[in-house]
Amino acid sequence: MAAAAGSGRTVSSTFRPVRTWLLMPSWVMIGIFMFLPVLLMLVYSFLTKEFRGGVIWEFTLAAYDQFLFDRGLFGDDSPDIQWAYITIYIRSILQATGATLLCLLIGFPTAFFIATRPAHTRSVWLFLITIPYWVNLLIRTVSMKFLIRENGPLNDGLMALGVIGEPLQLVNTNFAVQLGLFYSYLPFMVLPIYAAVERYNFALSEAAADLYAPKWTILRRIVIPVVKPGIVAGCILVFVPSLGAFLAPDLLGGAKTFMIGSLIEEQFKGNAGNWPFGAACAMILLTLVLLVLMFYARAQAREER
């Protein structure tokens, strides 16, 4: 399946003249609503901040300088590395990684289960997976907080069962944030893996068993490598939005779990905002994500050869 990614398809010459026109709406939408905002963000990150939000059209590297260096309160000390923002980025990457692993751990068996049901019941299972997502993300995240709070149902239940003696402090922890991210993005893990497992030819597992492979070896050596494109797609789809998320960290975390999304959000909110700095933070995040994807693509290409 991965091998097919490189082979482009040619459009028959009959459709070539109209193709440009038929694609026009897509080009316009993508251009105006995706490409232009990123360009705008890039330009803003090099402008000078206006104190009550907004920008002055004077080009400067001040935003990036602020991200990387600490020049003291008045900006005239010798520059030290500014660890505050780098720490937030590292924490965000760790949180997003945790959430992705949690999604993978729960999502892979779920997807596998759904893909191996009889064909007519699969759509029902997929439907069930998506039901919670009909509710607004904010509401869902707030209810998650309600569930895991000190005297919420989770703690009450665990205490009633005698598993724990006193309530667990879950809110305002890294785990709470990961749980929130996991809950927000689980379908993005399940659906691509489901699509890959559904196409998986189970004769391969039979062949492996026939060639003396025990069950776990079949999973590790045959199933996972073959459905890997689905796993990777799911991980990217969960990791990238988790990295920039601000709802879950805001509501379920505290000051100690401050993440990139919240940092950026703060720069554009109210009067304390610093638009160029917010834009610079967003550009740095974008660059990080692109680098990760590029490295993956490179590694994939090497493996194909």
Partner 1 sequence: MSTGAAISLTHVRKMFGDFTALSDVTFDIADNEFFTLLGPSGCGKTTLLRMIAGFEATSAGTIHLYGDEIEDLPPDKRPVNTVFQNYALFPHMSVSENIGFSLQMLGWAAPDIAARVAQMVEMVRLQEFVHRKPSQLSGGQQQRVALARAMAPRPKVLLLDEPLSALDLKLRQEMRAELKRLQQETGITFIFVTHDQEEALSMSDRIAVMSAGHVQQIGAPQEIYRDPANRFVADFIGETNLLEAVVTEVGEGLLTCRLPDGEVLHAPRAGSAIGVGTAGMLSIRPEAVRLSREAPTGESLKGRLGPATYLGTDTQFIVHLGESLSLTARAQNTETGAAMPQQGDPVFASIAPGAARFLVD
User: Would you tell me which residues interact with partner 1 (CB under 8 A)?
Assistant: 1, 3, 201, 203-204, 206-214, 217, 221-222, 225-226, 228
DSSP string, 124-181: HHHHHHHGGGGS-HHHHHHHHHHHHSTTSHHHHHHHHTTS-SS----TTSHHHHHHHH
CB nearer partner 1, residue 226 or residue 284 = 226
Closest approach of partner 1 to the CB of residue 224, in Å: 10
Cα distance between residue 259 and residue 251, in whole Å: 12
CB nearer partner 1, residue 58 or residue 210 = 210
CB nearer partner 1, residue 215 or residue 269 = 215
CB nearer partner 1, residue 231 or residue 240 = 231
CB nearer partner 1, residue 3 or residue 18 = 3
Give the 3-state secondary structure of 76-91.
Answer: CCCCEECHHHHHHHHH
Closest approach of partner 1 to the CB of residue 301, in Å: 14
Closest approach of partner 1 to the CB of residue 60, in Å: 51
Closest approach of partner 1 to the CB of residue 112, in Å: 18
Residue spans of alpha helices (H) in the chain = 16-30, 36-44, 62-68, 83-115, 119-130, 137-148, 153-160, 174-199, 203-210, 215-218, 224-244, 247-252, 260-267, 275-304
Closest approach of partner 1 to the CB of residue 155, in Å: 44
